[in-house]
Structures are given as structure tokens and as C-alpha cells.
Amino acid sequence: MIDRTAALSVANTAIYTDSGADLPASLRADNVRVCPLTINFGQESFKDGVDITPEEFYARLSTTSVMPTTAQPSSAELADLYREALAEREYIVALHLSERVSGTAEAARAAAREMGADRISVIYTGQIACGLSLLISRVQEMLEAGTTLAGIEAQVDHFRANCLTLFTLESLEFLQRGGRIGRAQYMAGSLLKVRPILEVADGEVSSVGKVRGAHKVIPALAAALAESTPADTPLRVAIGHAQRPEAVGRVAQMVRETRPQASIEYTFELGPTIGTHGGPGTVGLSAVSLA
Amino acid sequence: MTTKDARALDPVAAALTAAHRALAARAAEINDLNVFPVADGDTGTNMLITLSAAAGAAQSGGVGERADHIARATLVAARGNSGMILSQLVRGAAEALAEVDRLDGAAARTAFRRAADAAYTAVREPVEGTMLTVARRMAEAAERTDRKAALTEVLAAALGGGWHAVEETTDLLPVLAQAQVVDSGGLGLAVIVDGIAAHLEGREIAVPKDTAQLSSSANDHPPSRFRYCTTFVLDGEDLDLAALEGRLVPLGDSLLVMGDARQAKVHIHTDQPSRAVGEAEALARVDGLNVDDMREQEAERSARIARRLGVVSAEGATAVMMVETEQLGRIAAGLGARPVLDIAELQKVIAEAAPASTVVVAYGDHAEQVGAIVDEHGSSLIHAPSLPAALACLVALDGPGGRDLRVAEMTELAEDVAAASVPAEVDQPEAALKDAVRTLLADGIGLVTVLIGEGVEAGANEVEDWVRSVAPDLEVEAHRAGLTRHAFQIGAE
């Protein structure tokens, strides 16, 4: 546990996250590190972003009959990675995938405890993918300006209460098979194709509603965005997609029309970790007001 | 260790196991009563989780430090306000019982007193009209028994006193009066003691069911001021609990810090769970963090109660739809509706449904007949212009707001569906279908759904290809629906 009043900066603090953040390249600064989750296709294992790219992952997904699963890093692996980072910097602030959908944060806490370090803080985020990326970009900004652990904790709490993450899937199959379907369970099993509109609430997947027909997805996302974000304060937005680059423009346009004050900070491809649980066609956005 | 036969366990383990069983039977009701301090509807569950740890520890622990073992296990597992307080009741009672040679009336009297005192001492700001009051009244009633009273007599007296106190909680605490409920934690405690007494007397559990009755006022309560119910355990050598409390007080309310210099449990309602954990981690190691969003829990409880009472403010609605074939029934059921195949079944299903949260979707020839039944029952009717429209509107069945909002959205959806049909006697189904689809094409249409009749030989994929050949840019979905009078029913939306 880091002294909560110690001065933290990019020079002395590393941010550690994992591949569930799908951190865009522009956010990969020298002090921002990503721990890969493991993607298993049957007996074959790959480290997300290390020995499998999103393209390779989705290509394999479209040809294989074996469905992938994800595995969290062990606390020993995390301890090794943390040790490396601590060789270069004084502190680590670890911001991993939501503790409600992944055991990574728990393993990270175990690793930090094992190392007995007063140089590592693992903060539960409750965020997934775009939401986690936005959080990390915000924390990095704070480090650039100089901050404290207490300041970062307050920001994580702010995100927990104010960061909206909305997404849609082309099929509930992946989410259901991976067991991360949370409160959206009841939607599975429809004969007619239904597009779920989902959100990350309280760190897990929850249902906002459903529509039939791809043409109704964007209006439904717009309605949910309008309902859950302030109309008059600046918003930071990130947009992610799995194999649907053409959807990004439509979502971005919807965001600009619904919340003209929003700035779209990042658009990126969702990688194998998130792709395993959402499947191709997952499209989502996160929006947070920092006011 | 198996808990099949509580009597084979030692007396304390057996009593806790019996108490757990009694509480488990009532936990759901107790959840729904929960309005104080926050109506997050989890008192029963929280007490059950906590008590389960106590029973488990009593079964597994050695003889020596047994009371300490039980107290620690219970505290570590404690969830929510009620669980935290229960852990202190268990500690007080376990410590008292560890000091006696015989489990008799006198031991029970001491145990009730020590339990109540331990709980009152551990709570920063005791509130009357809660399980604290019930615990105290139990101790007082136990102390009023004859000095030579037997164990079961003392328990019966305590239960009587506690029982009375549960009924009084409604008048003692304004929030409870407003919601017209007894205190959930207090009832939970009475159920626990009843479970123990019943076990010792070899009788059935007796706390009457009607105490947990809810009226529509059960949802009248102020919303939670803070959002997250946060609990965690602190382990250390020399914990300064007062200092910890001082750090946490500014972050929220319902703060409970319980334990000793080696291990403490923290419970706080706060908007800043990470900061609370950070403040604590500055002092010692934090473990077992649990963060519950109470707004979400409040909404879930409120929806649960409204559904049970058939109050209009319920989230979502229940839909019943009369369909001609079993295949259509499966399609409707997949969208969340209860399909019925004829008027008799409809009447039977509707008679059992709560009018205020029920929506009946009708279309076609039977719509008027269905409408008359619905009118009489008092539920809502959506008269869809066509079968495809009736199915399409079911998508809006789940969603925020009560039945009336659902009905409004579903009606709007149904009206947005353009429909056409091809009769069963058609000679060339492919050509007829294409013609029918062409009549539906218009701006804003994105999805064509085709329901296929029994007499059509082509499979769903083939039918989809037919439609795509005239509407290449649209999403197309076809299903065999067993229709007898039509080759196709087509919806475009």
C-alpha cells in the first residue's frame, strides 16, 4: 500500500492494467503497462496481445469449432511483472478489469500482498474495456500533472458512479457461454433474433433493453446515452468494436448528435479478451463526465 | 461435517444450525421487509450469510478458543448492517456460554444479556426500533424469569419479549411506520431465537407468517443517501480502530467498525468505496472487499414487491398472447410472453394474473373476444394490427417504468410494423411472397420477418433467400410457424 499522500507522477509511478482494457496504442506510454490475459482454444494457449493479435484471434474464431475461453494471470505471473516495473519506478497503481467479471484484480491483490510492498496499490475499478481505458487515460493525466493515491482513488470512485458503458452484441451466445451474462440472462433463448442493449453496471453486465433489427440499435444506444449522461457538461467518450469498423462511424455520429458537447477520445478494436466474451459484432461505448 | 441431524452435534452447534435452518425458511420475506437504514432488500440474505458462518465455525472449531473462533468467523463473514450487529450478538452469547459449565436457564439469561450489551456497545449510534431493541427486550424478558427457570422456559420468555418488541418496532421508527412494516433485522432475530427454542423443545418453528405482510406502502421510503454498501476485513498486529473510524466517518454513514486489535470488520455506506478502502489500507491489510450498489438493490426490491402485490408501479409487465399454433407459442415465449392456445386457457391464465401488471396482446379474429375478457379482468389490452406486429411489440415488454409505459411503447412498436400475408391456397408461393414483400418496402424499413405456413415446402433459409432477392439491403428472418390459413405472414419494420 502506497502512502496516500506521497507525490505520484509519471516519473515515479507505473500504471498496470490488463488486456481487458483494450488500451489503444496512443495510451501506451512508457509507464503504462498491460498484463495479458490468456486465451485458450482447447489445448492451445495464447497471451492476448503478445502471441495473438485481434486479427489472428477473430480469424481463428471464424474457422474453429473450439470456442475460446479466457484465463486470468496467476498472482505469481503478476508479481513477476510488478517486480520488473518496480525496477524502473517507485510505485505501481494497478487498475485491472472489473473484479465482478474477472479474477485478475483479486490475483493482483494477492501478488501485491505477497510482495509485501508498500509500493503497489491495486484499486478495484468496476470497469471493462472502453470504461477501463478512459479511466486509465484520466489517471495518466493526473500523474502527468502530479497527484496522490488518494486523488486516484477518488477518481476511480467518480468513474464507478458516473462512467456509462453501453454495448450491443450480435448474439448472446458468447456472453452466455463465458458465464458473464449477469442480469441479462433472461434474454437468451429467443427464436427471433434479438439485439440486446447492455450496460456495465456495478462492474457487471446488465440489460438496458432489446431491439429487433440492426437499424434500431443506434437509436436505442442514443436513447440510453441521453438518459444516463448529463446534457450540459463535457463528456469524454471511447468507442470500441469487434470486427465492425464500419459501426464506429455510426456510433460516433450518434454520440455527436445526442451529446454535441462530447469529445470522442478513442476508437479502437476490442481484442481477444473482450472478444471471447462478446463475440464478433460487439460494439460499445463508454462516456464519462469529469465535472 | 454433515448438518443432517442437528441433534447429533454439540448443543451450541446444533442450536446455531437449527437457527440457520429457521432463518433460511424466512430469508426472502425478511429481504422484502427491509427499509431501514436503506431499503436495499438484503437483510435476510445478509443475516443468513452471517449466521451460516457462525454455524459452520461452531461445527468445526476445537474446544479451547471456541468462542473466539466462532466470533471471528462470524465477524469476517458478516454482511450488511444486520449481519454486523448479528455478529456481535453471536460474539456476546458465545463468550457468555464459554464461561459456564452447564447450558441451563441461568446460562441463557446471561447469554441474552451479554449478546445485547455486546451489540449496543459495538454500534456507534444505536437506533431504537431495530434488532438492537429486539435483542434488549429479549434480555430483559429473560431476566424476568424465575431464577430456577429451565433453559426452555428462559428461551420462551425471551422469545415472547422479542416477539412483542418486533411488533413495536413499527411505532418506534418513523420509516417503518411510513412503510407499514416491522423491522426486518428484528424479525430475523426473532426467527433465529424461535429456531433455537423450537429445536430445544422439539416443536415446529412458530413465529407467525403474517408479521412479514407487506402493503403497497412497503415501497414508501426515502432513497439511500449513499450509493455503495461497502464491507471489508482488516488484518493487522495493532489495529487502532478509533483512528480507523476517524478516517472513515467523513466518507459516509451507517459506519460500523467491529473487532479487535488483530482483526476488524468495516461496514460503511459511501459514495467512495475505493477511498474508504484506501483509508483503511493506510493502516492495515484489507481483504474480502464487497461493494454492493444499493440503488440497484433498492430498485430490485421495489420491483419484486410491486410484482408480488400487483401494484402498477412495477418494473416491466407480464404479457399473455393467444396464438394459433405451438410454433408461434415458442416464438412468443422466447420474447418473454406467456403463450396460450385458446380462449379457455386464456381465461384460466388471466384469472391467476395480477391485473395491474398484466398486458394481453391480441390480433386477428379473436381480438374482440379477447378484448372482452381483458376488460372484465382489468388488465391492459394491446390490439395489434397483425400477427407480425403482435410478435414485434413483445420486444418492449421488459424495460423501465410500470405497465402503462410498457403498454405505450409496445403499442407504438406494434403500429410501426407494416404487414402483409399470402393465403394458404396460393399456387406459386415464391412469386406471391416476393410480390407481398415489394408492397411493404418503404423508407426506414430495416427488417423483414416472415412466418411460414404449414403448407409451404421450402425451408426457412430458402424463404430468406427469396426475400433477399427483392430486398437485398434488408435484414431478413424467416421461421416456420405452422400457420394453417396462410402460406406467409410478413412483417416489415
What pLDDT, in 10s, does the model give residues B195-207? Answer: 999 999 988 887 7
Tens digit of pLDDT for each residue in B323-354?
A: 999 999 989 988 888 899 999 999 888 888 77
B39 and B136 both lie in a single domain: yes
B81 and B131 both lie in a single domain: yes
Q: Please tell me the predicted confidence (pLDDT) of residue B311.
A: 42
CB atoms within 10 A of CB A257: 11
The domain in which residue B151 lies consists of: 3-219
Cβ contacts of residue A271 below 8 Å, gap of 6+? A19, A22, A48, A49, A54, A57
The CATH number assigned to the domain holding B191 equals: 1.25.40.340
Instruction: Compute the distance between CA of residue B349 and CA of residue B344 in angstroms, rounded to an integer.
Output: 9
Residue B478 resides in a domain: yes
The CATH number assigned to the domain holding B281 equals: 3.30.70.2730
Query: Band of the pLDDT at B307, cuts 50, 70, 90?
Result: low
Q: Please tell me the predicted confidence (pLDDT) of residue A177.
A: 74
Q: Do B278 and A121 touch (CB under 8 A)?
A: yes
Residue B303 resides in a domain: no
Instruction: Compute the distance between CA of residue B453 and CA of residue B183 in angstroms, rounded to an integer.
Output: 58
| ipTM above 0.85 for this complex | no
Interface test with A, best of B232, B251, B274 (most A CBs within 10 A): B274
- Please, what is the average pLDDT of chain B? 88
Nearest-10 crossing angle of helices B273-281, A149-162: 150
Residue B347 resides in a domain: yes
Tens digit of pLDDT for each residue in B183-192?
A: 999 999 999 9
Instruction: Compute the distance between CA of residue B136 and CA of residue B117 in angstroms, rounded to an integer.
Output: 8
Contact B291, B232 (CB under 8 A): no
Of B355, B381, B415, the one marking the end of a domain is B415
Instruction: Compute the distance between CA of residue B167 and CA of residue B165 in angstroms, rounded to an integer.
Output: 5
Q: Please tell me the predicted confidence (pLDDT) of residue A159.
A: 96
Cell numbers 458478516 label which residue?
A: B78
Tens digit of pLDDT for each residue in A32-64?
A: 999 999 999 988 999 999 999 999 999 999 998
Residue B273 resides in a domain: yes
Residues β-bridged to residue B231: B267, B290
Q: Please tell me the predicted confidence (pLDDT) of residue A160.
A: 93
The CATH number assigned to the domain holding B425 equals: 3.30.2320
Residue B302 resides in a domain: no
Q: Phi-psi bin for A74: left (phi > 0), alpha (psi -120 to 50), beta?
A: beta
Q: Do A4 and B279 touch (CB under 8 A)?
A: yes
Tell me how many domains chain B contains: 4
Closest-CA residue of B relative to A220 is B396
Q: Please tell me the predicted confidence (pLDDT) of residue B309.
A: 60
Lowest mean pLDDT among A271-280, B305-314, B459-468: B305-314
A186 touches chain B (CB under 8 A): yes
Helix (H, G, I), strand (E, B) or coil at A267: strand
Of B361, B384, B415, the one marking the end of a domain is B415
Of B415, B439, B458, the one marking the end of a domain is B415
Q: Do B395 and A215 touch (CB under 8 A)?
A: no
Instruction: Compute the distance between CA of residue A33 and CA of residue A81 in angstroms, rounded to an integer.
Output: 9
B122 and B204 both lie in a single domain: yes
Cβ contacts of residue A39 below 8 Å, gap of 6+? A45, A46, A47, A48, A52, A57, A68, A69, A70, A272, A273, A276
B213 and B325 both lie in a single domain: no
Closest-CA residue of B relative to A95 is B274
Q: Please tell me the predicted confidence (pLDDT) of residue B310.
A: 47
Cβ contacts of residue A195 below 8 Å, gap of 6+? A168, A169, A170, A210, A211, A212, A213, A214, A216, A217, A220
B387 and B316 both lie in a single domain: yes
B136 and B166 both lie in a single domain: yes
Cell numbers 464491507 label which residue?
A: B231
| 3-state DSSP percent of chain A in helix, strand and coil, to 5 | 40, 25, 35
Mean pLDDT score, A10-37? 94
Q: Which residues of B touch A213 (CB under 8 A)?
A: 446-447, 475, 493
Residue B301 resides in a domain: no
Q: Do B274 and A123 touch (CB under 8 A)?
A: yes
B321 and B341 both lie in a single domain: yes
* Residue of B220 and A248 predicted with greater confidence: A248
The CATH number assigned to the domain holding B393 equals: 3.40.50.510
B260 and B321 both lie in a single domain: no
Residue B213 resides in a domain: yes
CB atoms within 10 A of CB A25: 7
B215 and B247 both lie in a single domain: no
Q: Which residues of A touch B334 (CB under 8 A)?
A: 189-192
Nearest chain A CA: its distance from B69 CA (Å) = 24
Helix (H, G, I), strand (E, B) or coil at A274: helix
B359 and B436 both lie in a single domain: no
Q: Do B398 and A193 touch (CB under 8 A)?
A: no
Q: Do A194 and B395 touch (CB under 8 A)?
A: yes
B51 and B139 both lie in a single domain: yes
Check pLDDT > 50 for residue B5.
Answer: no
Q: Please tell me the predicted confidence (pLDDT) of residue B316.
A: 58
Residue B323: half-sphere exposure toward Cβ, Cα within 13 Å:
25
Report how far apart, in Å, the C-alpha atoms of A263 and of each of A226, A234, A239, A252, A259 are.
Answer: 15, 8, 11, 10, 9
Q: Please tell me the predicted confidence (pLDDT) of residue A66.
A: 86
Residue B298 resides in a domain: no
Instruction: Compute the distance between CA of residue A139 and CA of residue A63 in angstroms, rounded to an integer.
Output: 39
Handedness of CA B292, B293, B296, B302 (dihedral sign): positive
A25 touches chain B (CB under 8 A): no
B189 and B106 both lie in a single domain: yes
